[in-house]
Amino acid sequence: MTPLVRSVRSADTLTRDALAVLQPGFTGTTAPDWLLRRLGEGLVSVGLFGRNVADPAQLAALTGRLRAEREELIVAIDEEGGDVTRLEVRGGSSFPGNHALGAVDDTALTRAVARELGRRLADCGINLNWAPSADVNSNPGNPVIGVRSFGADPQLVARHTAAYVEGLQSAGVAACTKHFPGHGDTAVDSHHDLPRIAVDLPTLQERELVPFRAAVAAGTRAVMSAHILLPALDGEHPATLSPAALHGLLRAPATEGGLGFDGLIVTDGMEMQAISATYGIERGSVLALAAGADAICVGGGLADEDIVLRLRDALVRAVRDGELPEHRLADAAARVRALAGRTRSAEVGEGAAPAPGIGLTAARRALRLTAAGPYAPLAEPAYVAAFTPLANIAVGDETPWGVAAELARLLPGTETATCTAEAAAAAGTAALVDGLLTAAAGRRVVAVVRDVHRHPWMADALSTLLAARPDTAVVEMGVPQASPRGALHIATHGAARVCAQAAAEALTDQRLSPGE
């Protein structure tokens, strides 16, 4: 009897390849036993989030323990700086985000900020950063990108994306430029639903793709796909699952209208509703690999051994059932291992001196002040009214924001109140503002807003407050799309801790720390 012909690749090799393409997360500040076991069985990547970080020493110990199990390992993190920080999730970032850097428009500064951020990541044992965001913020109502973008001009975004990639990678940390082919023209957050972008291909080429071309030219090691549907490119599949987007556009040579990218393609989080609610995580992961993705990012929401085993088994089953070509899985695993094999010493330039004050320097330069008339700096404790929108999932609600804490350091006795859409709806705008003014008790008021142009309740409350107290200072910590209002209007272009510090300094005309 003739024996059955079997794949030349063993079941063990197939399983190791399936584990190799996963980028899972976990809970806690120490590595769980199941994760260490899977590293021994073929897992090559681990994703870290704010829940895994206590301080730099703990983080370095954690990554050291992971590498004791597997030396050639990708340790990834979502550290954009600015509003999206994992290293400083409970205190706020020491670096302003992209929008602030774009407002300054000094590529040397952007490169220096990214280099210092990369240096701190590398010191903690992290060698892949899911950043920068190369999205062109062409839709000012975008609920998920906003200050995570360098701006609305494709050429500006392109030059700063390239500078960021160069700076980050000069510190030995691979950049993962996102969210390909561009998440800036969406009105829907892909964490919650599947966004649809109704632009034609010429617009895509002339707007969204410009920064990604710059990132590829700058040598970005990885690119992250977006869970967005572009009917002009693929009317059925979102970009993460689209051969036309990944293989046919990102990988295709420039002579064929593509970007010619030969590095690692990483998916955005597969547990996001744009994928999980439509395709399911297992099916979505198979389709993503088949479409050309190399690494499956999962672990922001699902962070246990079960999801790793489910996805591992789904990929193995898909190969055996003929849904996923075996060579495609092998190629993806090889790309992951190749990036994992890069050593920090091969990347870091000579004389990479720390620049601990570069973030605050950048935040100060990003401020834009507009005064309605003469404005006397605050000299006594103030009252801060923080008009607080619901945080998007990418930013999270763990990270503090606003100017009250930094202002209180300069003017002890400063107090604050948080105002939300729910509070405005329950009490009514007039009553809400009356309550604020009563609590202020004659003190000067500082109103802090975030993307006031996107929140009618916030705009109404601010108008009512300014009508009653025209001497109110306004600090906009989101995208400054609305016209400046207030006795003094400060646009920080982001809500990082250093942005708050710079704003507090401007309000009081004094500095919290010596200049660099």
Q: Which residues participate in catalysis according to the annotation?
A: 191, 268
Query: Other C-beta atoms within 10 Å of 193: how many?
Result: 15
Give dist(CA 94, CA 117) in Å, integer: 9
Question: Of 391, 47, 25, nearest to 191 (Cα)?
Answer: 391
Contact 410, 99 (CB under 8 A): no
Characterize the bridge pairing of strands 45-48 and 415-419.
Answer: unpaired
Q: What is the DSSP letter of 249?
A: I
Question: Of 399, 307, 389, 359, nearest to 51 (Cα)?
Answer: 399
- What share of residues in the chain are helix, strand, coil (percent, to 5)? 45, 10, 45
| DSSP H or E run through 46 | strand 45-48
Helix (H, G, I), strand (E, B) or coil at 243: helix
Cα–Cα separations (whole angstroms), residue 475 to 63, 120, 270, 472: 39, 29, 36, 10
Q: What is the DSSP letter of 229?
A: B
In which order are the strands placed within the sheet that holds 383-387?
368-371, 488-491, 473-476, 445-449, 383-387, 415-419
Contacts of 115 (CB under 8 A, 6+ apart): 167, 168, 170, 171, 352, 355
